[in-house]
Amino acid sequence: MAELDTSSGGGKKGGGKVRTKKANTKVDLTAMVDLAFLLITFFMLTTSLSKPIAMDIAKPDQEDNEVRNELRASQTMTILLGEKNKVAWYMGEAKDAKPVIESFAEVRRSLLKNKEEVKNKTGRQIVVVVKPTDGATYKNFVDIMDELNIAAIKTAPAIDDVNILDNEKQFMREGGILK
Amino acid sequence: MPRAKVQRKSTSIDMTAMCDVSFLLLTFFILTATARQPDPLDIIIPSSTYKIKVPDKDIGILSIGGKGKVFYEIVGQDVKVATLDRIGKEYNISFTPEERKRFGVLGSFGVPIESLKQFIAMDAEQRTKFAEQSAGIPSDSTNNQLAQWIMQNRHAVAELHNEPLRISIKGDAEEEYPTVKKVIDILQKQKINKFSLITSAEGGK
């Protein structure tokens, strides 16, 4: 198929032995096939892998107060997202809390530790309240939701960006992660 | 004695068939690959370890980036046109069939409704330039066009496909949380309490 008949039209037979060299007309397709397969691989991988990932978030209804329920202080961990990629977390209630200021790398260990402690003490699942403050970036928010997913915390996290208490603001300012 | 002639065999394989097949496959993959619309906003999405893929229909994508700009993308040609009709009715602007057709293939946009006609008439290059200067879709409480777009898009999807519209937020990693909160508040006003954040897959985990 990829050959052409170019054998010099066999007219001259006598008259000296002028041998025309038969040039090989076969085209080497190796490089072309290589390229084609490379492109195939590329398109195959990009069609299925480039799909972005969706992280489903549910927030409490703003108006419907009936769905709100009280949380037990013993099983609640509040995480505040502050400036400079730092978080502050505390267990229980804000007024008698001893907040810990940590970076995102450290918060996973604390999450797992608190999860275990709550489970041992009360036998209940931990409930995490995430409070992003004005200093936090969008990435911080995505990261903390991701950490909760990694720590396999089964109860739905409560996201609260409205009710940030005064003492919470107070100790965040003291920790230098809020203006 | 005549020398025994060793027949020389060519070692090159005929690649023609292989070439044919590979190009056929290549054509197939190129055609099935969905052409990605260029994003007018420079957005770097954060990564996560979640595994759920973003659906490719009945979805509205809110892009947040560039210091508080909000762009909106309606997915699906039929939905786009239906949404445009509804928006036009809402703001008393009528669109010609030509404009509706052009809007049907438009990607993410961030123009106030007043200059939408002008935006539709532009070519791709002008649009990119325009998007750089544009402040996004107005979303302040007095002139909340973004809420209108989302609302009309929801109506259009419900009417055409009988499905609820999924709202996704595609935010820049460095965007400040208050901007995101403002957009989420608009969603929550419409009782959209569930939405998804678009992230990229985290490698190596």
The whole-number pLDDT of residue B34 equals: 65
Task: Count CB atoms within 10 A of the CB of residue A97.
Answer: 17
- Higher pLDDT: B33 or A129? It is A129
Task: Output B35 or B155, whichever has higher pLDDT.
Answer: B155
Q: How far apart are CA A102 and CA A38, in angstroms?
A: 46
How much is the pLDDT for A104?
Answer: 79
- Measured between CA atoms, the residue of chain A closest to residue B51 is A53
Q: Which residue of B has its CA nearest to A1?
A: B16
Indicate the pLDDT class of residue B205, thresholds 50, 70 and 90. Answer: very low
Contacts of A89 by beta carbon, 8 Å cutoff, 6+ apart: A77, A78, A79, A80, A99, A100, A102, A107, A110
Q: Where are the domains of chain A?
A: 73-174
Whether pLDDT at A133 is above 50: yes
Angle at B135 between CA B133 and CA B136, to 5 degrees: 115
B16–A1: do the CB atoms touch at under 8 Å?
yes
Between residues A62 and B48, which one has the greater pLDDT? B48
pLDDT at A12: 47
**Average predicted confidence (pLDDT) for chain B:** 80
CA separation for the pair B18, B20 (Å, rounded): 5
Question: What would the pLDDT profile of B53-78 be if each residue is shown by its tens digit?
Answer: 777 778 888 888 877 788 888 888 88
Q: E-assigned strands of chain B?
A: 47-48, 59-65, 69-74, 139-140, 143-144, 166-171, 194-201
Distance CA A137, CA B180 (A): 9
Is residue A126 within 8 angstroms of chain B, CB to CB?
no
Q: Which fold has domain A73-174?
A: Nucleotidyltransferase; domain 5 (3.30.420)
Contact: B15, A32; criterion CB under 8 Å:
yes
In the 8-state DSSP scheme, what is residue A157? P
User: Which residues 59-88 of B are in CB contact (within 8 Å) with A?
Assistant: 64
Q: How far is CA A140 from the centre of its chain?
A: 11
d(CA A6, CA A27): 13
Average model confidence (pLDDT) across chain A: 76
Rounded Cα distance between B41 and B198, Å, is 15
Q: Which of these ranges, A11-15, A127-131, B96-100, has the smallest mean pLDDT?
A: A11-15
The DSSP output letter for A73 is G
Q: Where residue B204 falls among pLDDT bands split at 50, 70, 90? A: very low
Task: Note the pLDDT tens digit of each residue in B9-22.
Answer: 777 777 888 888 88
Q: Do B177 and A37 touch (CB under 8 A)?
A: no
Q: pTM value? A: 0.71
Residue B112 reports pLDDT greater than 60? yes
CA A72 to CA B38: how far, in whole Å?
48
Quick one: angle between helices B145-161 and B177-189, nearest 10?
50
The chain B residue lying nearest A44, using CA atoms, is B29
Question: For A64, which residue in chain B has the nearest alpha carbon?
Answer: B191
How close does chain A come to B24, measured CA to CA in Å? 10
* Torsion, Cα of A145, A150, A154, A160 (10° steps): -20
pLDDT value at residue A15: 54
Which residues does chain B have within 8 Å of residue A46's beta carbon, measured at their own beta carbons? 33
Closest by Cβ to A40, choosing from B26, B49, B173: B26
**Of A99-108, A111-120, A150-159, which gets the smallest average pLDDT?**
A150-159
pLDDT in tens, B142-194: 778 888 888 888 888 888 888 888 888 888 888 888 888 888 888 888 887 88
**Sequence-ordered list of residues with C-beta below 8 angstroms from that of B114, at least 6 positions apart, any chain:** none
Would an 8 Å CB–CB cutoff place A26 in contact with chain B? yes
Q: What is the pLDDT of residue B38?
A: 62
Confidence of residue A67 (pLDDT cuts 50, 70, 90): low
